[in-house]
Amino acid sequence: MDINDLQTFLAVAESGSFSRAAERAFITQPAISKRIAALEAELGAKLFDRVGRRIQLAPAGIALLPQARTILDGVGEAKRRIAALSRDIAGPLRLGTSYHVGLHRLPPALRQFYTAHPNVQLDLRFMDSEAACHAVEQGDLDLAVVTLPRGSNARLRREKVWEDPLEIVVAAAHPLAAARHLRLQALAEYPIILPVPGATTREIVLAALAPVRRNLRIGLETNYLELIKMLVSIGLGWSALPHTLIDGDLKVVQIEGIRIVRELGVVTHAARTLSNAASAIIEAIRATK
């Protein structure tokens, strides 16, 4: 059974004539004859009684008529829904973000997006950047707004949105806070407080500190930059933190030749089609850059 056959059936039933149905469908009358014959063969029942040179719906045709309408309605609805996908921004959107990005970079974009597109069901999940990237790769998230991973992964598409410079900081009351020109070696005497192993930010900091990597004393590790800030400010060590976290409790230490920058942005699956909602929120994020 074919959609065309059903449409033909409907046209014949409504027009009461093979010839008129043929005109309506812009095909020849023999084609109509054959389509109806094929339908009848498939269903094993006569759909029309050929009474002389006119036709009438047979019982099976009467039974089929409302069903054919239902089916064709369903087909139309399916087409309309898919066509709507290319216009409407709606439906579910699963977004993962890291604690830091979610709290300090995402809110404006989120507010704008949420008011502009109320039909999107936003499922916002906080997690660390690495877990978010993994979830995107697995198809468990539509996109992640996180610290962009280093290295390359062909399955992920990355778009840098923000540069997030990290400053080396010590407690305001720390002995090193007073020093005028500080050399890296002097810093390395004190313990460094770092994100947990595996975290991208940790990798970036360690890469920037490569000259003294051998001498670094790793003091504490935590998975949350706010905690690092707290630990540094009570004098447990030094670290590298983004501007947004630096306040009067901390002293920024400039070191010749050392510049630490991490990239924040959007990670999506390279091979999966983005929903309109996903594209729209990415656009909103770009706009608030």
Check binding of 37 to a second copy (CB under 8 A).
Answer: no
Check binding of 185 to DNA (CB under 7 A).
Answer: no
How many binding residues for DNA (CB under 7 A)? 26
Q: How many CA atoms lie within 13 A of 138 on its CB side?
A: 10
Pick the closest to residue 261 from 194, 167, 165 (CA basis).
165
Sign of torsion over alpha carbons 3, 6, 8, 11: negative
CB burial class (10 A; 0-12, 13-18, 19+) of residue 24? middle
Q: How far is the CB of 147 from DNA (least distance, A)?
A: 24
For the residues of 44-61, what is the DSSP string, one character each?
TS-SEEEETTEEEE-HHH
CB burial class (10 A; 0-12, 13-18, 19+) of residue 212? middle
Q: Which residues of 72-108 are buried (b: 16+ CB within 10 A; e: fewer)?
A: eeeeeeeeeeeeeeeeebbeebbbbbbbbbbebbbee
> What character string, x for contact with a second copy (CB under 8 A) and - otherwise, covers 108-147?
-------------------------------x--------
The single residue among 149, 204, 269, 280 that binds a second copy, judged by CB under 8 A, is 269
Nearer to a second copy, 35 or 251 (CB): 35
Q: How far is the CB of 27 from DNA (least distance, A)?
A: 3
Nearer to DNA, 209 or 267 (CB): 267
Check binding of 68 to a second copy (CB under 8 A).
Answer: yes
Sign of torsion over alpha carbons 284, 163, 144, 148: positive
> What character string, x for contact with DNA (CB under 7 A) and - otherwise, covers 37-56?
xx---------x-xxxxxx-
Check binding of 41 to a second copy (CB under 8 A).
Answer: no
The single residue among 52, 151, 248, 257 that binds a second copy, judged by CB under 8 A, is 52
107-116 vs 276-287: helix axis angle to the nearest 10? 130
Check binding of 30 to DNA (CB under 7 A).
Answer: yes
259 interface partner picked from DNA, a second copy, none, CB below 5 to 8 A per type: none
- Return the residues of window 165-224 that contact a second copy according to CB under 8 A: none
Pick the closest to residue 273 from 116, 129, 125, 82 (CA basis).
82
How many binding residues for a second copy (CB under 8 A)? 41
Q: How far is the CB of 56 from a second copy (least distance, A)?
A: 6
Euclidean distance between CA atoms 71 and 83, whole angstroms = 18
Interacting residues toward a second copy by CB under 8 A: 1-4, 43-46, 49-52, 56, 58-60, 63-64, 67-68, 70-71, 74-75, 77-79, 81-83, 85-86, 91, 139, 155, 269, 271-273, 275-276
